[in-house]
Amino acid sequence: MSQKQIELAVFDWAGTTVDYGSSAPAVVFERTFAQEGIHFTRQEINAFMGMEKKGHIRSLLSTENGTAQWKAVMGREWDEGDVERLYEAFEANLFDVVAEYSAPIPGTVEAVAKLREMGIKIGSTTGYTSQMMERVIPAAKEGGYSPDCVVTPDVTGAARPTPFMLFECMRQLNVYPPKHVVKVGDTIIDMKEGVNAGAWSIGILTGSNLLGLTEEEYKAMPAGELEKRKQEVRAKYLEAGADLVIDSISELPAAIEELNRRLAEEVR
């Protein structure tokens, strides 16, 4: 492959390649906190999506709403012991449902096949642990999606938005420098991971956590309202450092061709 081309695409999982709308983690966060008498809206939960899950729990508890609810229900401030306990409950709940939400998003299998025809390696990073991924990977593979490597935060000891999981993908697949890598995701934190790694970043609209719609809600939404929502999400991706924003994963091969053009012309 030319030294002026993208050689590695690093994908997020839920909301990007599998689990339309990133439903599994949102459902599990709702269930885990409800078991404690604490209730967050889907919008509040989605605001931190893409983080390592303990960090996500900590961030929710740190919000004004989370802090107030916890004190009202528990009669005290939350502490790290509570984070650990909630995380254990989150893991148990997730193991019950995650495989059910691991079907590839429409267009994923075809887009990845096209990238491989282009000579591009397929990596992945996630906020799930390696144990959680033991259930996700086989379910996704049954649907036709299987990346070349899967890197989890417990392996690197560092979660997004740090670049270390992406760097580990590069190490495992022997691709460098970062300008030959693109991070593809559906959250702000995905874009920041790519930016912090010095790689390219592409945000996806359809099926994304950031758009926050189930497939049924997406299809039922009036065209004008849907377009307005997409424009708002597009602006958020760009503000977070995305180089490109695409409507769906089906557009990814063409988007990477655009990045190849920029590389050839040394335009960023």
Gap between the Cα atoms of 4 and 2, Å rounded: 5
Cis ω for the linkage preceding 177 (within 30 of 0) = yes
Catalytic residue selected from 12, 19, 186, 243: 12
Contact 139, 99 (CB under 8 A): yes
Greatest Cα pair distance, the chain, in angstroms, is 62
Burial group, residue 82, by CB count within 10 angstroms (0-12, 13-18, 19+): middle
CA angle 249, 250, 254 (to 5 degrees): 100
Phi, psi of 45 (to 5 degrees): -65, -45
Q: Tell me which residue of 207, 203, 181 sits closest to 192, measured CA to CA.
A: 203
Q: What is the DSSP letter of 208?
A: -
Beta 181-185 vs 8-11: how paired, if at all?
Answer: parallel
Distances (CA, A) of 129 to 52, 135, 153: 8, 11, 6
Tokens of 102: 């691991």
Q: What's the DSSP call for residue 105?
A: P
The residue annotated as part of the active site, out of 19, 53, 121, 243, is: 53
Chain length of the chain: 268
Q: Does the active-site annotation cover 53? A: yes
Q: 49: which 2 tokens?
A: 């999506």
Q: Would you please indicate which residues are annotated as catalytic (active-site) residues?
A: 12, 53
